[in-house]
Amino acid sequence: MARYNFKKTEAKWQKIWAERQCFAATEDPARPKYYVLEMFPYPSGRIHMGHVRNYALGDLVARYKRARGFNVLHPMGWDAFGLPAENAAIENKVPPAQWTRQNIDTMRRQLQSMGLSYDWSRELATCEPEYYRHEQKMFLDFLKAGLAYRRESWVNWDPVEQTVLANEQVIDGKGWRSGAAVEKRQLSQWFLKITAYADDLLETLATLERWPERVRLMQANWIGRSEGAYMIFDLAGRKDRLRVYTTRPDTIFGASFCAIAANHPLALEAARSNAGLADFIAECNRLGTSEAAIETVEKKGFDTGLRALHPFVAGKELPVYVANFVLMEYGTGAIFGCPAHDQRDLDFARKYALPVVPVVAPADVEPAAFAVGDVAYTGDGRLINSSFLDGMAVEDAKAEAIRRLAAQGSGEKAINYRLRDWGVSRQRYWGCPIPVIHCERCGAVPVPEADLPVRLPEDVTFDGRGNPLENHPTWKHVACPQCGGPARRETDTFDTFFESSWYFARFCAPHETAQAFARAAVDYWLPVDQYIGGIEHAVLHLLYSRFFIRALKDCGYLGIKEPFAGLMTQGMVCHRTFRDGATGRWLFPTDVIEAPDGTAAHAKTGAPVTVGRSEKMSKSKRNVVDPEATLAAYGADTARLFMLSDSPPDHDLDWTDAGIDGAWRYVNRLWRMIEEPGVALAEPGTPAPEAISPAADKLNRAIHKTVAAVSDDLERFHFNKAVARIRELTNLVDGLDRSEAGAGWVLREALDTLVCLIGPMMPHLAEELWQRLGHATLLVDTPWPAIDASLLHEDTVVIAVQVNGKLRGTIDLPKDMDGEEVKAAALSVANVAKALEGRAPRKVIVVPNRIVNVVV
Ligand code: ANZ
Ligand code: ZN
């Protein structure tokens, strides 16, 4: 018998599927649509195992839904702008465009070798003018609608990448890609008004029932709605006032200072006559604008000399500090500090010897005895030391304080969001040009629509210094569209999250030229029914996209506001780590030979290797396995099966050689089973024969039960469970005695069904086996197996057999079988006969459908 030749078979079916355009999608209002999408990759060069997992999951869903009769859209494209292309250009002297397009070619070939059911006719790359011209138009529309604007702002500056980062891109005070400590700078930037949708983005989260709870929570926290009050303090000896934002107006009688951000106008004013303060402000500005950076730094302040007057206590003055933990971009950039009930304020008060007066006492403590030491009390309780608020519960005190503030004109209720407007300007070359022209006379003038696209020049030189768009000899010099005078183009480009915020909608009609979207197509296909990708995009890409679609809706582009009806976030692919025993240097798995006892040695030298725990595959720790090598050695189906079988999709997956070998053996087992079924199979479609043995009938029932259970598993994304059930059915098929009556018929059913069930997981093998089983149609055009519901319920029972009260065996018997027959079956159990030791039973008691008790 020939061994399974995956190389030939996989190439064969990929060719046939492509020639017959099996996965080309067209709108068909008569059929239910299903849009399944995996987050499109950045063309970094080669695919990694994370891609393999992501696309194996998505392809399973696409092929399964197709078999269930849905009109499936499953496209693929390239998130093609971004910094690595520029770095490569500097290092290797290849233009970013060329580097990117080469990588796309490589990765497309790799993906195609996986046999993924994409409609390749819809492929797009965001770096092509045919794509980005539409987002330039969107930006112009956003400008008109007031959803885009320009302002000077304090930004996170990545000193290594020489660019601005969004708050989302600053992780623990460091650039998300470079890892460099982020600094603050003031620059003129373009912003998108995501805050206009803060409430809607938050409230609608509740309707996204097919999103992971975790992601919804992360977005809710990111939006960070808080209810509180603005409070306005008079300043001693001045006419202007200080406005603060607080969520705890109830604690006002515990206030012992006010603090303002380093770049608050009052701070800047005071610094003009105070060199020490100016230095302190400069020090604060070296810290990033991110909350993480601010939280980790030691809390410090500098007294401005200003004094704020307590709104309710005549004559009480609070010192006003500049403090490094107050953010300019949140609330009003100013706070009052109540040390007893806020840890930061407490640390600050202890450092600068400010009073700590508790104003909320927990219910179970005697108010007079309540004091605060090193830990602020943030819990609930009753108000103390607070004049007219004394005795009130916290919530009531908040309301009362606000009422009194409002009555005397020194405050009002307020709602604040952590969410900031999205700064989209990047000082980078390899991105979409922002369609604006700067004129000395007219200001920032939008590029007229007729002049779109503003093409990115591809003839640029890279020397690693500054922005090549700035340095290009001619590109930026243009005439002002308004006055005709000399002007210059905006040389910033869009954040690349701009492109990924609408690509899924573009896939609905990617060749439309007149406009971004063909309305009928987006109305038919959107929203994406199932989106699959990494959890790392929980607040970046996924929140931007939700905003973007709302903004596009308001500009008349489309009719929906939520882009992704279902979301699945996949876990990571992990691998054990290896280090050289002597030097501690990381080693590639291919450089290591592992012994069965868990120790390891260098493949070449035999020197000892330290084996570390399994971690996310990463180049830095070298614990990577190249998909291309795996695909070459085992084929796509084996790799895909392994990706599905070991863990639930949302859990991490441990890549092991044993696991991939196991998948490979299963592939071959299925192959052999169908090459040599051991009996002549009935013709496809033959009705069930009259004579069918109980064993054959049992297998037939198992087939239907498996289809029902696997379908259920696939609907719920329990892919690993589905694989386990399919393997169980395989065991049952193997176990059937080929001489049983009806074997030829039931094996035909079983093998056809097995092949259908593995179709979405191992499509090449399945298609090949389908053909070998004598079917003239393609498996990809074959509906999912139908279930005979009457076969799903149990018709046999397991009966325990005891001898003198001791369990000796079990028997599978038809339900409600005649007592004498049950008795006979029980006594014929080998273990029972042995226990009787030749004695005749005194009594045999049969409890119908449950137990047989033999007494000797
Ligand atoms: C007085 C107070 C007393 C506060 C107390 C807390 C506890 P969320 O919930 O995140 O909205 N705050 C306001 N603006 C700030 C800024 N720009 N930079 C740093 N901190 C700022 O937090 C609101 C609370 O954070 C506000 O309530 C304010 O401190 C502080 F016992 O006001 B609170
Ligand atoms: Zn002008």
d(CA 778, CA 13): 10
d(CA 47, CA 5): 24
**Ligand 1 pocket, residue 343 CB under 6 Å:** no
Among all ligands shown, which has an atom nearest to the Cα of 331? 1
Mutational pocket test of ligand 1: of 326, 330, 341, the residue with most ligand atoms within 8 Å of the beta carbon: 330
- At 499 the pLDDT is 98
Report which ligand 1 atom has the smallest distance to the Cα of 329: 17
Nearest residue (by CA) to ligand 1, atom 8, is 226
**Ligand 1 pocket, residue 258 CB under 6 Å:** no
Q: Measured over all CA atoms, what is the biggest interatomic distance in the chain, rounded to whole angstroms?
A: 116
What DSSP letter does each residue of 664-721 carry, written as one string?
A: HHHHHHHHHHHH--SSPPPPTTPPPPS---HHHHHHHHHHHHHHHHHHHHHHTT-HHH
Ligand 1 centroid to Cα of residue 347, in Å, is 15
How many of the other CB atoms lie within 10 Å of CB of 680? 11
Among all ligands shown, which has an atom nearest to the Cα of 437? 2
Ligand 1 centroid to Cα of residue 247, in Å, is 6
Ligand 2 centroid to Cα of residue 445, in Å, is 8
Predicted TM-score (pTM) of this structure: 0.86
Tokens representing 152 are 């000077």
**Ligand 1 pocket, residue 618 CB under 6 Å:** no
Tokens representing 118 are 């994409």
Q: Strand 477-479 to strand 425-426: parallel, antiparallel, or no bridges (unpaired)?
A: unpaired
Nearest residue (by CA) to ligand 1, atom 29, is 246
**pLDDT mean for each 10 residues of the chain (856 residues):** 89 98 96 97 94 97 98 98 88 90 97 98 98 98 98 85 75 81 86 97 98 97 96 97 98 98 95 96 76 76 97 97 92 97 96 96 90 94 96 97 97 95 91 97 96 93 76 94 97 96 98 96 98 92 98 97 97 92 90 88 91 90 91 97 94 93 96 95 93 94 97 97 98 96 97 98 98 97 93 82 92 86 90 89 92 93
Q: Is the dihedral of CA 489, 490, 496, 499 positive or negative?
A: negative
Of 430, 459, 431, 461, which is closest to residue 93 (Cα–Cα)? 461
How many of the other CB atoms lie within 10 Å of CB of 816? 10
Q: Is 687 exposed, middle or buried (0-12, 13-18, 19+ CB in 10 A)?
A: exposed
Nearest residue (by CA) to ligand 1, atom 33, is 246
Report which ligand 1 atom has the smallest distance to the Cα of 378: 31
How many residues does the structure list for the chain?
856
Among all ligands shown, which has an atom nearest to the Cα of 488? 2
Ligand 2 centroid to Cα of residue 111, in Å, is 49
Contact 373, 381 (CB under 8 A): no
Per DSSP, the three-state class of 439 is strand
Contact 509, 518 (CB under 8 A): yes
**Ligand 1 pocket, residue 327 CB under 6 Å:** yes
**Ligand 1 pocket, residue 251 CB under 6 Å:** yes
Mutational pocket test of ligand 1: of 222, 230, 232, 246, the residue with most ligand atoms within 8 Å of the beta carbon: 246
Element (H, E) at 519: helix 519-525
- At 159 the pLDDT is 87
- At 459 the pLDDT is 85
Among all ligands shown, which has an atom nearest to the Cα of 397? 1
**Ligand 1 pocket, residue 416 CB under 6 Å:** yes
Among all ligands shown, which has an atom nearest to the Cα of 264? 1
Within 13 Å, how many C-alpha atoms sit on residue 457's CB side?
Answer: 17
**Ligand 1 pocket, residue 341 CB under 6 Å:** yes
Ligand 2 centroid to Cα of residue 489, in Å, is 12
Report which ligand 1 atom has the smallest distance to the Cα of 332: 17
Of 316, 318, 469, 312, which is closest to residue 400 (Cα–Cα)? 312
d(CA 151, CA 155): 11
DSSP 8-state assignment for residue 254: G
**Ligand 1 pocket, residue 744 CB under 6 Å:** no
Number of H helices and E strands in the chain, helices first, is 25, 35
Ligand 2 centroid to Cα of residue 149, in Å, is 19
Contact 833, 825 (CB under 8 A): no
d(CA 264, CA 824): 94
Query: What are the φ and ψ backbone dihedral angles of 410, each rounded to 5 degrees?
Result: -125, 30
Residue identified by tokens 């033999």 is 854
Ligand 1 centroid to Cα of residue 214, in Å, is 26
Report which ligand 1 atom has the smallest distance to the Cα of 341: 31
d(CA 719, CA 710): 8
Ligand 2 centroid to Cα of residue 480, in Å, is 5
- The amino acid present at 413, given as its one-letter code, is K
**Ligand 1 pocket, residue 248 CB under 6 Å:** yes
- At 109 the pLDDT is 97
Mutational pocket test of ligand 1: of 231, 247, 394, the residue with most ligand atoms within 8 Å of the beta carbon: 247
Among all ligands shown, which has an atom nearest to the Cα of 223? 1
**Ligand 1 pocket, residue 256 CB under 6 Å:** no
d(CA 832, CA 809): 7
